[in-house]
C-alpha cells in the first residue's frame, strides 16, 4: 500500500516537472521592450482577448492577428512604464465596473455566462482586468499632465449653438475612424493601402490593423457624434457621405483620417442652451485629451528600444 502511494507521489512529481518543462519550451521570449519582455504566452492571451471579445474581428488571418496583438502588447508595456514613472495609481472602481459591464453587454452575457465564456476560451480574467486598469490609469495620467492645456473657446461654441437653435432638428452620426500617420512622401500610397485593407477585411478589422488612434482598440468605433460637435472640415466630408459609406481622406494635425458613417439619426433641438454648451465643451475636451494621449504615446514609442528576440 505504501509502495503504491510512493509510486503515485513520484508520478505526480514527474508529471508536474514535465508540465513545467513543456511550459518553458513553449513560452518563448519574443520581444524586449526596453527591458520588459513579451512572451509567446502573452501573445496567445492577447490574440484570444482580441478575437473573442470583439465581434467581426479578423478570425482567420493569424498573421494579421499576431501583428495587432504584438502592437497592443507593446502599447501596454510602454503605458505601464510611463504610469510607473509618474507613480500614478489612481483609477475609479466605478469606471472599472462600467468597462467590464460594457464588455459583457457587447457579448450579450450576464455575469455567470461571461465567466463561463472566459473559461471556455481560455482567457485569463486577471489579465483582462489588468488591461482595463492600465487604460484607466493611463487616461487619468494624461488628464493630470495636460489638464491645463484643455482650453476651449466657449464663446465660439455659444455662437454655433445659437445658429442651431434656429432649426427644429439636427443630425447625429454613428461614426468609426481610421487614423494613420501623415507620411508626406507616401500619402497616396498610404491612402490606397487603407482603402484596399478596408475592402479586403472590413472597416473594424482594418482599424485594428492600421489605425494609430486610441479608438483602434474598439475597432475604430466613436459612437454617436452630433454635427454640432464637428469642426467644419470633418462636417463637410460627413455631409457628403451616405450611410454605410466612408469619407474621403481628411488631413488633420494628428494624421490622415478616414471616417465611416455607420448610421444617421435626427434629434430635436434642446432649448437648454447651457446644457448643450456643457455637452459640446465636454466632447471637445475629450477630443483634445485623445489627441494628447495619442501624441504622448507616440513620443514614448519613438524613444523606446524594441528588440525582436530570435
Q: Can you give the pLDDT at residue 165?
A: 67
Pair (127, 219) in one structural domain? no
- Torsional class of 169: left (φ above 0), alpha (ψ -120 to 50), beta (otherwise): beta
**One domain for residues 139 and 34:** yes
Split at pLDDT 50, 70, 90, the class of 33 is very high
133 shares its domain with 6: yes
Q: Which pLDDT score, from 0 to 100, does residue 224 have? A: 92
pLDDT for the residue numbered 255: 87
pLDDT number for residue 277: 79
Q: What gap in Å lies between CA 221 and CA 204, rounded to an integer?
A: 8
Residue 6 sits in the same domain as residue 123: yes
Rounded average pLDDT over 17-28: 54
Q: Is residue 297 part of a domain?
A: no
**51 Cβ partners below 8 Å, 6+ apart?**
57, 58, 59, 65
Cβ–Cβ under 8 Å, residues 34 and 305: yes
* 189 assigned to some structural domain: yes
Do 6 and 130 fall within a single domain? yes
Instruction: Please indicate, yes or no, whether residues 25 and 139 belong to a single structural domain of this protein.
Output: yes
Q: If pLDDT is split at 50, 70 and 90, which confidence band does 108 have? A: very high
pLDDT at 294: 87
Q: What is the pTM of this model?
A: 0.77
Reading phi first (left if > 0) and then psi (alpha if -120 to 50, else beta), residue 249 is in beta
pLDDT surpasses 90 at 284: no
Distance CA 299, CA 41 (A): 28
7 band by pLDDT with thresholds 50, 70 and 90: very low
Q: Which residue has the higher pLDDT, 27 or 252?
A: 252
Q: Given this model, what pLDDT does residue 21 score?
A: 41
Q: Which range (38-52, 89-103, 233-247) has the least confidence?
A: 38-52
Question: H-helix or E-strand containing 170?
Answer: strand 169-180
Q: Shortest CA distance to 282 belongs to which of 143, 123, 170?
A: 143
Q: What is the CA radius of gyration of the chain?
A: 23
| Residue in the structure block whose three cell numbers are 432649448 | 271
Q: What total of structural domains would you count in the chain? A: 2
Q: Which pLDDT does position 133 carry in this prediction?
A: 96
CA 284 to CA 49: how far, in whole Å?
A: 31
pLDDT at 90: 95
Same domain flag for 133 and 265 = no
Q: pLDDT higher for 169 or 302?
A: 302
Element (DSSP H or E) covering residue 271: none
- Where does the pLDDT of residue 32 fall: very low under 50, low under 70, confident under 90, or very high at 90 and above? very high
Which residues are bridge partners to 260 per DSSP?
176, 246
Shared domain for 79 and 176, answered yes or no, is no
Going by their DSSP bridges, the two strands 306-308 and 250-251 should be labelled as unpaired
81, part of any domain: yes
Distance of CA 169 to the CA centre of its chain: 32
Assign 174 to helix, strand or coil.
strand
- Residue 85 maps to a domain: yes
Model pLDDT, residue 110: 95
109 confidence band (pLDDT: 50, 70, 90): very high
CATH value at residue 98: 1.10.4030.10
pLDDT tens for 117-138 read 999 999 999 999 999 999 999 9
> Given pLDDT bands bounded at 50, 70 and 90, which one contains residue 111?
very high
CB burial of 193-214 (b: ≥16 within 10 Å; e: otherwise) equals: ebeebbeebebbbbbbbbbbbb
In a shared domain, residues 92 and 163: no
Which carries the bigger pLDDT value, residue 27 or residue 77? 77
Name the grid cell of 1: 500500500
Domain that holds residue 264: 154-282
Least confident segment among 4-18, 184-198, 289-303: 4-18
Comparing 54-58, 178-182, 190-194, 280-284, the range with the smallest average pLDDT is 54-58
| Placement of cell 496567445 in the chain | 44
Report the percent of the chain where pLDDT is more than 70: 87
174 and 277 in a single domain? The answer is yes
Q: What is the CATH number of the domain that holds 203?
A: 3.10.50.40
Contacts of 158 (CB under 8 A, 6+ apart): 273, 277
Amino acid at each position: 500500500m505504501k509502495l503504491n502511494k510512493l509510486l503515485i507521489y513520484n508520478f505526480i512529481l514527474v508529471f508536474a516537472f514535465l508540465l513545467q518543462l513543456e511550459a518553458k519550451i513553449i513560452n518563448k521570449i519574443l520581444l524586449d521592450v526596453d527591458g520588459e519582455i513579451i512572451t509567446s504566452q502573452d501573445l496567445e492571451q492577447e490574440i484570444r482577448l482580441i478575437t473573442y471579445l470583439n465581434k467581426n474581428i479578423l478570425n482567420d488571418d493569424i498573421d494579421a492577428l499576431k501583428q495587432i496583438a504584438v502592437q497592443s502588447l507593446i502599447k501596454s508595456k510602454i503605458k505601464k512604464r510611463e504610469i510607473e514613472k509618474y507613480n500614478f495609481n489612481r483609477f475609479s472602481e466605478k469606471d472599472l465596473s462600467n468597462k467590464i459591464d460594457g464588455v459583457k453587454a457587447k457579448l450579450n452575457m450576464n455575469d455567470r455566462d461571461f465567466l463561463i465564456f472566459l473559461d471556455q476560451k481560455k482567457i485569463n480574467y486577471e489579465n483582462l482586468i489588468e488591461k482595463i486598469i492600465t487604460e484607466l490609469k493611463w487616461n487619468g495620467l494624461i488628464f493630470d499632465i495636460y489638464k491645463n492645456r484643455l482650453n476651449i473657446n466657449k464663446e465660439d461654441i455659444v455662437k454655433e449653438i445659437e445658429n442651431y437653435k434656429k432649426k427644429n432638428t439636427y443630425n447625429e452620426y454613428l461614426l468609426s475612424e481610421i487614423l494613420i500617420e501623415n507620411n508626406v512622401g507616401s500619402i497616396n500610397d498610404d491612402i490606397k493601402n487603407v482603402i484596399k485593407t478596408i475592402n479586403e477585411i472590413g472597416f473594424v478589422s482594418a482599424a485594428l490593423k492600421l489605425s494609430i488612434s486610441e479608438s483602434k482598440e474598439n475597432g475604430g468605433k466613436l459612437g454617436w457624434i452630433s454635427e454640432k460637435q464637428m469642426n467644419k472640415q470633418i462636417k463637410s466630408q460627413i455631409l457628403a457621405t451616405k450611410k454605410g459609406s466612408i469619407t474621403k481622406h481628411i488631413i488633420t494635425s494628428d494624421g490622415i483620417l478616414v471616417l465611416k458613417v455607420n448610421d444617421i439619426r435626427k434629434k430635436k433641438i434642446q432649448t437648454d442652451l447651457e446644457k448643450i454648451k456643457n455637452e459640446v465643451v465636454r466632447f471637445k475636451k475629450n477630443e483634445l485629451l485623445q489627441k494628447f494621449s495619442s501624441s504622448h504615446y507616440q513620443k514614448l514609442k519613438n524613444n523606446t528600444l524594441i528588440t525582436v528576440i530570435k
